[in-house]
Chain A
Amino acid sequence: MNYNFKHLILFLAPLMAIVALMYFMIIWTAGVSMTEWVGLVPSWKFIGLGNYTTLLGLGRFWVNLQNNVIWLATFILPTAAFGLLLAYGIELSGRAAFIWRPLFLYPIALSFVITGTLWAWMYDPGSGVINTILRALKLDFLAGSWIASPKLAIYCLVGTAIWQYTGFAMVLYLAAIHGIPPEIREAAMVDGASHLQIFRHIIVPNVGHATLIVVATLAIFSLKVFDLVWVMTMGAPGHRTEVLPYLMFIMAFQQYRGGVGTAISVIILLLAIGVVLPYARWAMKKWMG
């Protein structure tokens, strides 16, 4: 179809204006992170890496960074593994798949504020759901302080996210399993392979691209988790569940230290770009076909 330069502008200008604004805001953030900021608006007084050295000297920053690392280390693997196992189990259940799938997928449609409210009730140390069930099962010794416990609290949050995202991993793995030519599995069945052997030698090696998507998405989520922390713990106990985006919010919007806030934004950007850049390259190549 013929088109001219006018068409190019007409169709792409609104989208490109928005994308350009976003890049501008990223650059603005990087710029402001090197200035002093007192009060409600930036003062544009250059102080070099001053905000960064302030951050590096702040114990709370390191606790937050460590918590983001805990998210990366404990959220991605179980979610992906649960998702893959469920996908295979559901695939094996044959025509019943359409019943099972929504039972595991529905949490992804809910907002983090809703699931956070709900799981705060599940984990409540007093009369909460989990402790009540454990007591009813005469398993009192397992009843704990969960979300109020300095050691357990962050894993309670991770658990909520695993519950919410397993269905997401599952649908991606289901799609990937459907993409494996059925002849391969049929041939293995004829040769007497067990379901477990098929899982290990045929399914796992052939769902690599789904793993790539799942791991990248969950890694990005681990770096930006915010709503769950806000709703479930407000960063407590101590700063044991606090993460970098949360600290960014507190610095910028509660303590009006925008310079330090933008410096945290830049650090989150640097962490995220390591995942986003290769993923965007992969997506572009795939899109080109």
Chain B
Amino acid sequence: MIKRPQVFLYTLLILLAAIWLLPLYAMLTTSLKTPREVTAREFLTLPHRPNFANYVKALNSLGRGLINSMIISLPATALAVFIGSWGGYFLSMFKFKYAQSIFFTTAIVTFLPYHIILIPFTQLMARLNLVNTYPGLILAYVILNAPTAALITSTFFSKIPKELQEAAALDGCGPVTFYWKILLPIALIGIAATAILVFTLIWNEFLLGVTLTQGSSVKPAMPVLAELKGTFVAQWHIQMAGAILTAIPPLLIFVFLGRYFVTGLIAGTLH
């Protein structure tokens, strides 16, 4: 027997889920329609003949940006997570006087909106001749995300039993060997969750991509997608195709590594 409150609950959940999925559905169907179907307001029905030409057009504008985003995001993620976990490890697993102050000062700059240092940041990059270069953008994202990675990994590391460290020390294992040989393998899930979150943050970032690039040579996908809105004004079918193309990496992560993504997301609040 189905109880009334349950019918109510499921009706409500289905209704809300429909609202939450509507934008995704509209994005997909619009991206497969011809301009005529869009202006005739026939974009919400399933397409009879999917118009993949939209994706070819969008990719012509976005291709370079997508490649740039990969070239920048992957090494920046690796470096930020390495520097972060390297420091986060010492911070959380060794007793020393200033550990708390370091955690506190790092947490403050992690949570503050980075917009407030945008002006000196671009000045610094210009001084170093790093504007509009891959190394410049990679460095910028490492600086921005290493503190975040340090805090997240340190919350994972602080749960590792102290006995493990003591036992390793008895076997003559030093801090550096411990990081590579013992910590990395046992904290792999935490580090993977951190890397997934940091990658998504870098891939999705917009403001630095705008201020640290000129032209299209190294510009990441997000600023290019924003420009696409200007190039294809009111050509929603192309804009939606472009939005889907740039959403693919984060959506793939969400679908296939969802558990790690959520773990990283929650750890990112220092829960």
Contacts and interface: CB of A to CB of B under 8 A. Distances in A.
A118 B243 contact: yes
A122 B124 CA distance: 39
A66 interface: no
B113 A122 contact: no
B67 interface: no
Contacts of A8: 90, 94, 96
B46 interface: no
Contacts, number: 281
Interface residues of B, number: 107
A120 interface: yes
B43 to A, nearest CB: 8
A119 B23 contact: yes
B111 A109 contact: no
Contacts of B150: 15
Contacts of A266: 116
Interface stretch (B48-56, B187-195, B254-262): B254-262
A195 to B, nearest CB: 6
A127 B116 contact: no
A213 to B, nearest CB: 5
A2 B155 CA distance: 22
Interface in A6-58: 7-8, 10-12, 14-16, 18-19, 21-23, 25-26, 28-29, 32, 41-42
Nearest to A210: B271
Interface residues of A, number: 101
Chain B CB within 10 Å — which of A23, A41, A109 has the most? A109
A152 interface: no
B44 A18 contact: no
B61 interface: no
Interface in A113-127: 113-115, 117-122, 124, 126-127
A94 B268 CA distance: 27
B184 interface: no
Nearest to A14: B83
Contact of A252 (B118, B176, B271): B118
A211 interface: no
Interface string B183-219: 0000000000000000010011111000100000000
A103 B21 contact: yes
B121 interface: yes
B146 A18 contact: yes
A276 B108 contact: yes
Interface in B52-106: 83-84, 86-94, 96, 100, 102-106
Contact of B158 (A15, A25, A121, A287): A287
Chain A interface main SS type: helix
Interface string A92-132: 11000000101111111111111101111110101101001
A118 B106 CA distance: 35
A226 B207 contact: yes
A38 to B, nearest CB: 15
Given A195-B5, A249-B118, A19 B109 contact: yes
B112 A124 contact: no
A284 interface: yes
Interface of B: 5, 9-10, 12-13, 16-17, 20-24, 26-27, 30, 38-39, 41, 43-44, 83-84, 86-94, 96, 100, 102-109, 111-124, 142-143, 146-147, 150-151, 154-155, 158, 165-166, 168-169, 173-176, 178, 200, 203-207, 211, 222-223, 225-226, 228-229, 234, 236, 239-240, 242-243, 246-247, 250-251, 253-255, 258, 261-262, 265-266, 269-271
Closest 4 CB pairs of A and B: A15-B87, A111-B204, A224-B113, A11-B90
Given A102-B255, A163-B20, 8 more contacts: A7-B175, A103-B21, A109-B254, A109-B261, A114-B225, A121-B236, A195-B5, A276-B111
21 contacts: A2-B169, A7-B174, A90-B13, A107-B23, A108-B265, A109-B200, A109-B254, A110-B204, A113-B204, A113-B225, A122-B23, A127-B39, A132-B44, A133-B44, A213-B269, A230-B206, A268-B116, A269-B112, A269-B116, A275-B111, A283-B151
